[in-house]
Structure formats: structure tokens, C-alpha cells
Amino acid sequence: MEKYLYDSNLLKNLAIKNDQFKYTIRPLMVDDFERGHLQLLSQLTKVGNVSDESYRAQFERMKKSGQYYVTVIVDEETDRLIASATLFTEYKFIHNCAKRGRIEDVIVDKEYRGQRLGNILIDTLKQLAQNMECYKLTLDCNDDMIPFYNKFSFQYEPGRSNLMTIRFNYD
């Protein structure tokens, strides 16, 4: 357990992958910096100049909070991360002190696209969120990804789906 961001047992018995699946799916590990996690994330957006030390400190913060389920797919042959997605769980007073889930930072390495790795990650995070009794699960994405997420039953809720953003001047 210590090396993982969250309890890897949570991934057992999920109906997600078939026997032919040749990669490993697991929680993020503190030394995944060395397996190219940030290079992978830089295919999604700007990552900046993050040191191994800062990466580890952020990992420990996430782990301590118990709210982060960063889940990755590893190609054991190259020992590199090839896909990553985050489930964040947010505590609420509403809905009987419920939890809300958010899917964030979903990325599949461009060399590995077309192998349904994104599907496997989203199905996994959806099941995790359901097992943790999140009352809803949301995400925001670029327009061209809408059809992809629609396949997993993510939908606009007419009249109540307005994501609004302020961008502050930080990297």
C-alpha cells in the first residue's frame, strides 16, 4: 500500500479488462516521475518545470488527503506510463453528506492510441466512483472529446451544466 497513492485492492474485481490486456493498470506510485508521468501529462497541457522533489511532495499531499485516485496504465516492457487519469472525490454536506467525483487529466500516450486504453481508464474510474458512492461524477473537456465521453453516459444536463472558469496568471 505505501508505494501506491491509494489502495490497489480497490481495482480488483472491477469488470474492466479482458484476459488479453497486456498492460498493467494500477494506482500512481511515488516514483512514477521516473516512468515518464509528466512527459505523458505534457501531451494534455502545460506541465512546467517540475522536479522529482516537487513531484514527490505533491504525491504525498494527494495521498494524505485520501481524495485522489490517480490511475495509470504501464507498459511493463518499456517501464513507462502510457495512460493516466484522475478521479478526485470531493466531500459535501448536501445529499446526506455525499461525495462528488470528478474525472480530471485524462491522457493516453499518442503512440498507444486506438487500443481502448482511454475506455479502460474511464470505465475504471466510473466504477470506483460508484463503489465509493459518489452521488454524481463530472468532467470538463475540449469540444472534440464530447462524443468520447458521451459513450460513457456523461451528458449535458440542460439548464444546469454551465462550467465557468476564471484563469489566474499562474503557470
> Which chain residues interact with ligand 16G by CB under 6 A?
44-45, 103-106, 139-141
Rounded least distance, CB 122 to ligand 16G, Å: 9
Q: What is the DSSP letter of 41?
A: H
Cβ-based nearer residue to ligand 16G, 6 or 84: 84
Q: Minimum distance between the CB of residue 167 and ligand 16G, rounded to whole angstroms?
A: 8
Among 82, 73, 75, which Cα is nearest to 121's?
73
Indicate the residue among 12 and 46 with the shorter CB distance to ligand 16G.
46
Q: Residue 9: in which H helix or E strand, if any?
A: none
Compute the least distance from the CB of residue 105 to ligand 16G, in Å: 5
- Cell numbers linked to 110: 499518442
Q: CA-to-CA distance for 143 and 97, rounded, in angstroms?
A: 32
Cα(162)–Cα(144) distance, integer angstroms? 17
Q: Which is nearer to ligand 16G, 93 or 170 (CB)?
A: 170
To the nearest whole angstrom, how small is the minimum distance from the Cβ of residue 151 to ligand 16G? Answer: 13
User: What is the secondary structure of 51-115 as a DSSP string?
Assistant: -HHHHHHHHHHHHHHT-EEEEEEEETTTTEEEEEEEEEEEE-SHHHH-EEEEEEEEEE-GGGTTS
For ligand 16G, the nearest residue by Cβ is 45
Nearer to ligand 16G, 5 or 103 (CB): 103
Nearer to ligand 16G, 70 or 103 (CB): 103
Q: Using an 8 Å Cβ cutoff, are 38 and 47 in contact?
A: yes
